[in-house]
A and B are shown apart, each in its own frame.
Chain A
Amino acid sequence: MKVYATYNIKGGVGKTTAAVNLAHLSAADGDRTLLWDLDPQGAASFLFRIKPRVKGGGQALIRGTKALDDAIKGTDFDSLDLLPADFTYRNMDLLLGKKGTRADPTHRIAHLLRPLAAEYDTVFLDCPPSISLVSENVLHATDILVVPLIPTILSVRTLDQLTDFVAGINGHRPQVRAFFSMVDRRKRLHREITADLWAARPDVAQTAIPALSLIERMSTERAPVTAFAPRSQAAVAFRSLWSELRSLAAR
């Protein structure tokens, strides 16, 4: 089982969009895929038309009184399931830090995912923006950390912070693969930053996801763009990114 997480310290950079489309592509490839919507806002759950609610809340999942298995919902797509968001995830840091669960507080998500290995080939974690105990848990549980970047100076700085943070954690460390998101080729700054970073950093994917209104339409279609507009420029870009990530995971 390969675990991918879409993560960034900043919000609004395209994490959920990437998670939803990449998970859909993974399932379309025939892999049994699970997407865990860890963000209490529940955007991924919304996009799959699934209520952002888990019986017993995040507490039941973290404490193990409700098996992850029981909370999973099938999406409208073959081989793709979703573990919905819940508003109680906003307190996830507290829940993970609480005493009374067996696993190390920084490894609880990894511990919870382990039994799913028989059922799924691929898991995506759609993470809330922050650096917290949740982030640390995600890093320990993940094989590939997928980091969307908007081509701005601040974003580049954020990537540096993130790579430092990953390098600093003990034990298992995921591979980091950033990609440019919401790229507007008409903007000079976007063109310059992408070119510079591609030249300077090998951990940035060659595929850039363009800023397109079609991607924004995901929230009205409530489906991945790769499903409702599979031949669109946006879908082609996500397929290319997925292909890069798969190659990385296969190494």
Chain B
Amino acid sequence: MTPGLQEYVLDGEEGTALSGALAPAFSVVEDRGTPAVRRLTWLDTFDWRLYRAGLVLAHEQAGRAGRLLLTAADGTPLAEQPAPAAQPRRPSLNLPAGPVWDRIAALVSPRALLPIARAVSTVSVTRLLNADGKMVARLLTDTARVTDTARVTGDTCEVDLPVRLAVAEVRGYPGQARRAARLIAEAPGVSAATQSAFAAALQALHRRPGDYSGAVDAEITAEMPAPVAVATLLLRLLDTLEQNTDGVLRDIDTEFLHDLRVSVRRTRSAIKLLGDVLPGDLADQYAAEFKWLGDLTTPTRDLDVYLLGFDSMAASLLAAKPADLEPFRAFLVRRRAREFRRLAVAIRSPRFRTVTEHWRKALVEVRDARRPRSPRNRPPTAADLAIGRTERAYRRIITQGRAIDQDSAPESLHDLRKRGKELRYMLEFFAPLHDPVAYRKVISDLKQLQDVLGEFQDSEVQREEIHALADAILAERAAPAATLLAMGELAAHLAVSQAEARADFSRRFSSFAGPASLQRFNTLLGVGRGERGDR
């Protein structure tokens, strides 16, 4: 259908009634041409970046021609560009250069564009003629069948969409088009379309747009017993981990592994900081398993980070040429392939399956267990736990940060970063219990500090990694001297970044530990207003 036209939906077999409805004003003639058949594939990233930005991207194939259409959620056209008629077999990490890609590249990268749903749409045209036999409007009838392309598993199912109708204006006859639209709207069995074809397709396929997000978003409430809240939270993290597993194994884009790794890291922090409220030694039992899982992902993710930032790293070279680094890139790609194979073997292993299955079973038991009714035996609530543990995490970061001075070893800053991550996770885990405005302010304060600590540690780790990789390259004779020199220059850049971050630390920490930031933190937890619960 042409974007921007008011569309209607035919509720049943009302084709004849429709001609009757139009008859008082128009002669109705079926177009002699063959109905246009279009194959539409709607695309988005796994985490719905386009949908969240209010955009709809479709690949349209009509005959031998293909094009990409970008529209706003209400169907307003924004950009289009030609594209190959056939869709690539593998999800693409980028589109061919053009106006559509220019608009969305920054938004979607580095995620792949996956087919969300496909439709074969047949549009037939009915000409509406005036008394002179002149066509003054067109009635477009779109019969579409949609196919779900389960984004990761590749399973499919097909559903017919309700027939959609639209009146297309013929230039110079706007009044006639309005009149035709009015008659159609009043015809029996016709109603105004309340959603776009894309939304209708998703609904028909029982797909909920935005059904994946890397955010914690656990459904916990303030009054929930603490063990239930923690089990609910850990189950949510396990969901995220499992939602990403297939994408990791198919190596669709780097962010599947990133999200899987983050959910493992969050799980480990939750076990460490909140695990004591779970029954028995459940937390201890799984701490080691999740460490194993986290360690598994590290080599591939580290190499992904290098490769994702490779071009900007190469562009920062002054003495060496970006091309000098190409053998280094090739080396990283080979290494990454090797590490990925190891990771995939581990994810497919019985150990991985056992860990996730047993962990889920144990958490579900905790979540669904009966609780004592007597107030004396009642466990603390989620709100109690949130306030107590978040405050503890905050105190630890303040104490450790204040102990750092000019002479402190780099490890003390690395440790502080870990404390910062723990505080961040505490805040995120219990986000539904906090006032959103106060929450955003505290997160922003913490982010300022974490950014500088991240820069400090990442620069050091990457610099050391470059040294190790240079040794490996040398041992394998995998690159010429120019590459090693360029790598040396990268290491020097990283050393400068680390030194700058170190110099900036005191200022950032003073700001984080200062009275304004403390006030915002106290506001978040309700401290000083008698809102604190029993911890």
Report which A residues bind B (CB closer than 8 A): 48-51, 71-74, 76, 81, 222
Whether B127 sits at the interface, judged by CB under 8 Å, is yes
B127 near A76 (CB under 8 angstroms)? Answer: yes
Whether B171 sits at the interface, judged by CB under 8 Å, is yes
B13 to chain A, nearest CB (A): 29
Q: B residues within 8 A CB of A50?
A: 134
A-B contact count (CB 8 A): 23
A83 vs B90: C-alpha distance when bound (angstroms): 50
From B132, B135, B172, B173, name the one whose CB has the most chain A CB atoms within 10 angstroms: B172
A50 vs B176: C-alpha distance when bound (angstroms): 14
Specify the chain A residue showing the minimal Cβ separation from B170: A74
B408 to chain A, nearest CB (A): 66
Whether B133 sits at the interface, judged by CB under 8 Å, is yes
10 closest pairs, A vs B, by CB?
A: A73-B172, A74-B171, A49-B134, A74-B170, A76-B135, A49-B132, A49-B133, A74-B172, A81-B171, A72-B172
B173 near A73 (CB under 8 angstroms)? Answer: yes
Q: A residues within 8 A CB of B135?
A: 76
Report which B residues bind A (CB closer than 8 A): 127, 132-135, 170-173
Q: A residues within 8 A CB of B171?
A: 72-74, 81
Instruction: Provide 6 A-B residue pairs closer than 8 Å at the C-beta atoms, listed in order of the A residue.
Output: A49-B132, A50-B134, A71-B172, A72-B172, A74-B171, A76-B127
B172 near A48 (CB under 8 angstroms)? Answer: no
A72 vs B171: C-alpha distance when bound (angstroms): 7
A81 vs B171: C-alpha distance when bound (angstroms): 8
B173 near A222 (CB under 8 angstroms)? Answer: no
Q: A residues within 8 A CB of B134?
A: 48-50, 76
A133 to chain B, nearest CB (A): 28
A164 vs B132: C-alpha distance when bound (angstroms): 43
Q: B residues within 8 A CB of A222?
A: 133
From B133, B171, B173, name the one whose CB has the most chain A CB atoms within 10 angstroms: B171
A73 vs B173: C-alpha distance when bound (angstroms): 7
A178 to chain B, nearest CB (A): 33
A51 vs B172: C-alpha distance when bound (angstroms): 11
Q: A residues within 8 A CB of B170?
A: 73-74
A222 vs B132: C-alpha distance when bound (angstroms): 10
B52 to chain A, nearest CB (A): 35
A50 vs B134: C-alpha distance when bound (angstroms): 7
Specify the chain A residue showing the minimal Cβ separation from B33: A78
B138 to chain A, nearest CB (A): 10
B136 to chain A, nearest CB (A): 9
A33 to chain B, nearest CB (A): 13
From B127, B132, B134, B173, name the one whose CB has the most chain A CB atoms within 10 angstroms: B134
A218 vs B158: C-alpha distance when bound (angstroms): 48
Specify the chain B residue showing the minimal Cβ separation from A74: B171
Specify the chain B residue showing the minimal Cβ separation from A69: B171
Q: B residues within 8 A CB of A74?
A: 170-173
B464 to chain A, nearest CB (A): 59
Q: A residues within 8 A CB of B132?
A: 49, 51
A49 vs B134: C-alpha distance when bound (angstroms): 5
A85 vs B389: C-alpha distance when bound (angstroms): 83
A222 vs B131: C-alpha distance when bound (angstroms): 14
Q: A residues within 8 A CB of B172?
A: 71-74, 81
Specify the chain A residue showing the minimal Cβ separation from B130: A49
A35 to chain B, nearest CB (A): 13
Q: Give me 14 other A-B pairs in contact (C-beta within 8 A), A49-B133, A74-B173 excluded.
A: A48-B134, A49-B132, A51-B132, A71-B172, A72-B171, A73-B170, A73-B173, A74-B170, A74-B171, A74-B172, A76-B134, A76-B135, A81-B171, A81-B172
A166 vs B67: C-alpha distance when bound (angstroms): 46
Specify the chain B residue showing the minimal Cβ separation from A83: B172
Q: B residues within 8 A CB of A51?
A: 132
A51 to chain B, nearest CB (A): 8
A185 vs B132: C-alpha distance when bound (angstroms): 36
B53 to chain A, nearest CB (A): 30
B31 to chain A, nearest CB (A): 10
Specify the chain B residue showing the minimal Cβ separation from A76: B135
B260 to chain A, nearest CB (A): 50
A81 vs B170: C-alpha distance when bound (angstroms): 10
Q: B residues within 8 A CB of A71?
A: 172
Q: B residues within 8 A CB of A49?
A: 132-134
Specify the chain B residue showing the minimal Cβ separation from A46: B132
Specify the chain B residue showing the minimal Cβ separation from A77: B135
A49 vs B133: C-alpha distance when bound (angstroms): 7
A222 vs B134: C-alpha distance when bound (angstroms): 9
B139 to chain A, nearest CB (A): 14
Specify the chain B residue showing the minimal Cβ separation from A70: B172
Q: A residues within 8 A CB of B173?
A: 73-74
A156 vs B481: C-alpha distance when bound (angstroms): 83
A68 to chain B, nearest CB (A): 12
Q: B residues within 8 A CB of A48?
A: 134
A48 vs B135: C-alpha distance when bound (angstroms): 10
B440 to chain A, nearest CB (A): 46
A210 to chain B, nearest CB (A): 27
Q: A residues within 8 A CB of B127?
A: 76
A72 vs B134: C-alpha distance when bound (angstroms): 15
Q: A residues within 8 A CB of B133?
A: 49, 222
A133 vs B365: C-alpha distance when bound (angstroms): 94
A81 vs B135: C-alpha distance when bound (angstroms): 12
Q: B residues within 8 A CB of A76?
A: 127, 134-135
Specify the chain A residue showing the minimal Cβ separation from B127: A76
A12 vs B171: C-alpha distance when bound (angstroms): 30
Specify the chain B residue showing the minimal Cβ separation from A48: B134
B419 to chain A, nearest CB (A): 61
A79 vs B127: C-alpha distance when bound (angstroms): 16
A71 vs B171: C-alpha distance when bound (angstroms): 9
Specify the chain B residue showing the minimal Cβ separation from A84: B172
A46 vs B172: C-alpha distance when bound (angstroms): 16
A51 vs B131: C-alpha distance when bound (angstroms): 11
B171 to chain A, nearest CB (A): 4
A97 vs B127: C-alpha distance when bound (angstroms): 42
B206 to chain A, nearest CB (A): 38
A130 to chain B, nearest CB (A): 28
Specify the chain B residue showing the minimal Cβ separation from A49: B134
A34 vs B38: C-alpha distance when bound (angstroms): 28
